[in-house]
Chain A
Amino acid sequence: MIISIASGKGGTGKTLVATSLALSLKDSHRVMLLDCDVEAPNDHIFLKPAVTGSEPVNILVPKVAEDKCTYCGRCAEVCAYNAIAVLGDHVLTFPQLCHGCGACSYLCPEKAISEEPRETGLVEWGRSDGVEFAHGKLTIGEAMAPPVIRKVKEHVSSDGTVIIDVPPGTSCPVVEAVKGSDFCLLVTEPTPFGLNDLALAVETVRELDIPCGVVLNRAGVGDARVEEYCKKENIPILLTIPLDTEIARLYSKGIPLVEGLPKWKSSFLGLLGRVKVLIDERNRSLKR
Chain B
Amino acid sequence: MKEIVVLSGKGGTGKTSIVGSLAVLAKREVLADCDVDAADLHLLLSPSVKQESEFWSGQVARIDEDRCTECGLCQDLCRFDAIKDFRVDPVACEGCGFCSHICPVEAITMEENMSGHWFISDTKYGPLVHARLGIAQENSGKLVAVVRQQARQIAEEHKLDYIISDGPPGIGCPVISSLSGASLALLVTEPTLSGMHDLERVLGVCRHFGVPAMVCINKYDLNEDNTRQIETYCSTQDVELASKIPFDNVVTEALVRGVPVVEYSDGRVSREIGALWQKVSGVMYSKQEVT
Minimum CB–CB distance for B245 against chain A, Å: 15
On whether the beta carbons of B97 and A191 are closer than 8 Å, the reply is: no
Whether the Cβ atoms of B11 and A168 lie closer than 8 Å is yes
CB <8 Å contact, B38 and A196: yes
Whether the pair A207, B98 counts as a contact (CB closer than 8 A) is no
**Per a CB cutoff under 8 Å, which of B80, B170, B222 touches A249?**
B222
For chain B, the count of residues having a C-beta within 8 Å of the partner chain is: 61
Report the number of A-B residue pairs with Cβ-Cβ less than 8 Å: 190
B135 interface hit (Cβ, 8 Å): yes
The docked-state distance in angstroms from the alpha carbon of A140 to that of B203 is 9
Q: A143 touches which one: B91, B141, B201, B249 (CB < 8 A)?
A: B141
Is the CB–CB distance between A140 and B204 below 8 Å? yes
Is B169 located at the chain interface by the 8 A CB criterion? yes
Partner of A40, one of B37, B43, B198, B226: B198
CB-based contact B171/A78 at 8 Å: no
Contact between A80 and B59 (Cβ–Cβ < 8 Å)?
Answer: yes
Interface membership of chain A positions 139-163, coded 1 if the CB is closer than 8 angstroms to chain B and 0 otherwise: 0111111000000000000000000
Is A49's beta carbon under 8 Å from chain B? Answer: no
Chain A interface extent, by class = 35 or more
Q: Besides the contacts A8-B38, A252-B193, what 11 more A-B pairs have beta carbons closer than 8 Å? A: A11-B169, A102-B77, A167-B170, A175-B91, A193-B40, A196-B43, A203-B135, A222-B252, A222-B255, A249-B222, A254-B193
A interface residues (Cβ-Cβ under 8 A, vs B) = 7-12, 15, 37, 39-40, 42, 45, 78, 80-81, 99-103, 106-107, 138, 140-145, 167-175, 179, 191-193, 196-197, 200, 203-204, 207-208, 221-223, 245, 248-249, 251-254
17 contacts between A and B (CB under 8 A): A11-B10, A39-B175, A78-B98, A100-B79, A107-B102, A138-B171, A140-B171, A141-B176, A170-B37, A170-B135, A172-B138, A174-B37, A175-B91, A192-B43, A200-B135, A204-B136, A253-B193
